[in-house]
Amino acid sequence: MATLSDLIGELDQWSDAGLEATLWWRNDDAGTEGPQLDRLLEIATAAGAIVHLAVIPEHLTEAARSTMLAANCARLLEHGFSHIDYAPPGEGSWELGSHRPVSVILGELAEGKARLEDAFGDRFIPVVTPPWGRIAPEIAKRLPDIGVHCVSLTTPRAAKYRAPNLLEISTCCDPINWRGGAHFAGSEKAIRHFIEHLKQRRRCHLSGTGDGEEPSGLLTHHLDHDGEIWDFVETLVSALSGHKAARWVALSEFLEV
């Protein structure tokens, strides 16, 4: 059973090997002001962590924009355009799927990107995070056409590039179980996934083979957090921030922006 002590033990092995464990934090469904956003930013600030707020352009309010800009810990990504499900029943939820013309979807994403650039300046990083973690291949391969060269999904990448000229940097740890409504998945499962990703990366670094460069990512959804999830996230982020082998990174480090 994976525990926080096991996670710290894995980071100790990074330290013993003289390696730096890069970490990143993505939080989806941002755009509106409220106590959940405030608490998220307070946790990140207290821990000295960088949190990437994946913003739904159509949902962004001026109050939320001001709050995000006031938080030095915040970086902004593009979370689809309107977070609307266009798929018929039985196909799962898709905004960036094959259910609409590619030109329409790319047009929306280009508009959303322009809005976020205007709203946040260089705090915005041109990375698309598809709602529900799904993007059709024909959409992904066209993202560079609108100036997007990175996509972020919900499980560790299988390859460095999702499509030509399109880097993928995804996440490995989600504390929410979405089946039957959002609720805490339990610390064991979330921590186990974090340890597995870190261990795989460490072995790649030591052997000089494989892909050890994808930062290990925490994925949160502040609007869906209950007390257990908040407590877990706060404890996890604080523990990671306190380890000498760990460093929170901004995705801009991986892009020419």
| Distance between CA atoms of residues 105 and 136, nearest Å | 11
For position 16, which CATH number holds?
Answer: 3.20.20.370
Write down the number of H helices and E strands in the chain: 7, 11
Q: Which residues contact 11 (CB under 8 A, 6 or more apart)?
A: 21, 198, 240, 243, 245, 246
Residue at 257 is within a domain: no
Its domain, for residue 221, covers 4-244
Residue 27: closest CA among 208, 171, 150, 169: 171
Contact 235, 10 (CB under 8 A): no
- Helix axis angle for 227-241 and 4-16, nearest 10°, is 20
Residue 185: closest CA among 251, 134, 236, 139: 236
User: Residue 172: is its pLDDT beyond 90?
Assistant: yes
Question: Which pLDDT score, from 0 to 100, does residue 90 have?
Answer: 86
Residue at 101 is within a domain: yes
Phi-psi region of 18 (alpha: psi -120 to 50; beta: other; left: phi over 0): left
Contact 95, 145 (CB under 8 A): no
Task: Supply the mean pLDDT for the chain.
Answer: 97
Residue 154: closest CA among 64, 27, 47: 27
Confidence class for position 246, pLDDT limits 50, 70, 90: very high
Residue at 139 is within a domain: yes
Residue at 27 is within a domain: yes
pTM for the whole thing? 0.97
Structural tokens at position 1? 């059973």
Among 83-92, 98-107, 120-129, 181-190, name the one with the lowest average pLDDT: 83-92
Question: Which pLDDT score, from 0 to 100, does residue 212 have?
Answer: 97
Question: Which pLDDT score, from 0 to 100, does residue 125 have?
Answer: 99
- pLDDT, tens only, 48-85: 999 999 999 999 999 999 999 999 999 999 999 999 99
| Count of structural domains, the chain | 1
Residue at 132 is within a domain: yes
Question: Which pLDDT score, from 0 to 100, does residue 180 have?
Answer: 87
Higher pLDDT residue, 92 or 122? 122
Structural tokens at position 186? 């339990």
Q: How many other C-beta atoms are found inside a 10 Å radius of the C-beta of residue 131?
A: 21
Contact 10, 202 (CB under 8 A): yes
CA distances from residue 138 to 29, 98, 141, 143 in whole angstroms, order as listed: 24, 8, 6, 9
Residue at 144 is within a domain: yes
Question: Which pLDDT score, from 0 to 100, does residue 250 have?
Answer: 98
- Helix axis angle for 187-207 and 227-241, nearest 10°, is 30
| Distance between CA atoms of residues 67 and 61, nearest Å | 10
Residue at 250 is within a domain: no
User: Residue 25: is its pLDDT beyond 50?
Assistant: yes
User: Residue 257: is its pLDDT beyond 70?
Assistant: no
Residue at 254 is within a domain: no
